[in-house]
Amino acid sequence: MQSALSLSFSQSSLPLANRPFCSSNAAPSFTPRNLRFCGLRREAFGFSPSKQLTSCRFQIQNRRIEISASAGNGAPSKSFDYDLIIIGAGVGGHGAALHAVEKGLKTAIIEGDVVGGTCVNRGCVPSKALLAVSGRMRELQNEHHMKAFGLQVSAAGYDRQGVADHASNLATKIRNNLTNSMKALGVDILTGFGAVLGPQKVKYGDNIITGKDIIIATGSVPFVPKGIEVDGKTVITSDHALKLESVPDWIAIVGSGYIGLEFSDVYTALGSEVTFIEALDQLMPGFDPEISKLAQRVLINPRKIDYHTGVFASKITPAKDGKPVMIELIDAKTKEPKDTLEVDAALIATGRAPFTNGLGLENINVATQRGFIPVDERMRVIDGNGKLVPHLYCIGDANGKLMLAHAASAQGISVVEQVTGTDHVLNHLSIPAACFTHPEISMVGLTEPQAREKAEKEGFKVSIAKTSFKANTKALAENEGEGLAKMIYRPDNGEILGVHIFGLHAADLIHEASNAIALGTRIQEIKLAVHAHPTLSEVVDELFKAAKVDSPASVTAQSVKVAV
């Protein structure tokens, strides 16, 4: 729904200080400007008081203020039920739906399970609740750390069910928040398993609806390799582990990526011994090698963790009849038997697989590739003949470009920009990632080996800048000086190629670098930015300042730190 209101006035009728966009040094003049206001009450524009405006625009033109406001879910194109149909109400679908309503699109979102998808219900949200507990337990258990503060703490303990309830309650709260946010904006939440029937046509349950554009956002499920029998009790995936139905004395974790590392942090803090089983020759594959080496020294070696690298878990049998979980290991290269482990439990953390079965892709001649739906750089779905399927998009884990919840949301927003007339291509190298261990690991852009490979192909030089948390006042005040920040960049033009951080609140610190990459900001410009002192943000500030760039800064502002 759209409404408009125009107000006329003369320039002389306004006090000088109140004249919009007026210069006190020149004759008053009005330049067309757009101001966006969100959350304004509908009553202000003559609407019924039952809902709020989702957005409005004030445009000053020829001495008139023209106000246009969109209220709730828009009206669809005449030939369709909806402007946009989203299949999957996870974080990606939710982000797309909210942006679509803001853009005035009548939007429906279809969910066959529960709103929030993997992230909210079985992933990043409940896992952060468990990690919050593990962080506090780890600190309370560290007698040396507490004594450094002059604190004396008796032996720390925990209630397993209380910890599990904290994770479950957080997931419920966030799920309700997501649901309510869409309902408040008028998004139609449709319950049922969604599938594409044909061009611009979707079925859910026994219902068929049409949409001008369709987004597939069905996410992923835990990947379980062949030979592994999951019983949900002693051999589990992350879905089961987040319920924390038990804390085993000894648990094997298959995979040492993000999921495996975070759960090792949780289990060791709660008293378990952990054994990593990793197919590659080193732990933490995918991280920058230098960061991995430091992280292993801090997160693995001092804790009750051992590991087997270069091996596959070819067979895992759940515990039963009084026997422990049996894990048969084979050499990852030769496939020869290596060892057999007997443990209390095994967590399968070997990544995730796209959830794309049963979506009706055959109706539009789309064939998945290793389960992923093929898309171009604008998330447009590609059919079996290599042609774009009109008005069909796929975002998030289902397309495999970058399996992160916030990447799915960013892709969804990018698609909405496109269907509303603005060409937009998301730079995936600007999307940060984080591992919420204690301390945390974060990264954006290329690793050092990736950057050097790119430099060799394209003919430019690579430089490295580093800074330590040991030089940061705030980190030392927290007695958390263990950490490193590393930047890979081009010295010829100041382009940031990648930033990697290991240390206190690394997940929060990475965004200045990710935004710089997204906006194309060069080091010689961002190194002049102001950072409050003393804060952890100065770790990144010193990282930028440590870089040596040939090109001078394009601005002349002086860098100043503000002491508080």
Question: For 309-356, how does the pLDDT look when each residue is reduced to its tens digit (9 = 90+)?
Answer: 999 999 999 999 999 999 999 999 999 999 999 999 999 999 999 999
In which region does residue 503 sit, left (phi positive, over 0), alpha (psi from -120 to 50) or beta (all else)? left
CA distances (Å), origin 255, targets 106, 349, 475: 43, 5, 31
pTM here is 0.84
Q: Which amino acid belongs to residue 514?
A: S
Residue-wise pLDDT tens digits, 133-160: 999 999 999 988 999 999 998 889 999 9
pLDDT for residue 11: 40
Mean of pLDDT values over 71-100: 89
3 state SS of 326:
strand
- Asked about 145 being catalytic, the answer comes back as no
In the structure, how many helices (H) and strands (E) does the chain have? 15, 29
Instruction: Give the integer Cα–Cα distance in Å for 415 and 323.
Output: 52
DSSP summary character for residue 552 = P
Residue-wise pLDDT tens digits, 233-244: 999 999 999 999
Give the closest residue to 499 by CA, choosing from 530, 473, 467: 467
The answer on pLDDT for 406 being more than 80 is yes
Which one is predicted more confidently, 490 or 66?
A: 490
Beta bridge partner(s), residue 64: 8, 61
The answer on pLDDT for 65 being more than 70 is no
pLDDT for residue 72: 62
Active-site residue, from 145, 406, 511, 533? 533
Mean of pLDDT values over 434-458: 98
Instruction: Give the integer Cα–Cα distance in Å for 133 and 317.
Output: 30
Give the closest residue to 488 by CA, choosing from 445, 520, 428, 533: 445
Mean of pLDDT values over 547-564: 61
Q: How many CA atoms lie within 13 A of 226 on its CB side?
A: 0
- Contact residues for 62 (Cβ-Cβ < 8 A; gap 6+): 30
Tally of CB atoms within 10 A around 372: 18
pLDDT for residue 31: 35
Mean of pLDDT values over 45-67: 40
pLDDT for residue 78: 74
Percent of the chain with pLDDT over 90: 82
Length of the chain: 564
Instruction: Give the integer Cα–Cα distance in Å for 525 and 522.
Output: 5
pLDDT for residue 303: 97
- How sure is the predictor about 3, in pLDDT bands with cuts at 50, 70 and 90? very low
Percent of the chain with pLDDT over 70: 85
- Contact residues for 279 (Cβ-Cβ < 8 A; gap 6+): 310, 311, 312, 332
3 state SS of 178:
helix
- How sure is the predictor about 552, in pLDDT bands with cuts at 50, 70 and 90? confident
The answer on pLDDT for 466 being more than 80 is yes
Angle at which helix 91-102 crosses helix 160-184, to 10 degrees, equals 30
pLDDT for residue 548: 96
DSSP summary character for residue 264 = H
The answer on pLDDT for 164 being more than 60 is yes
pLDDT for residue 554: 58
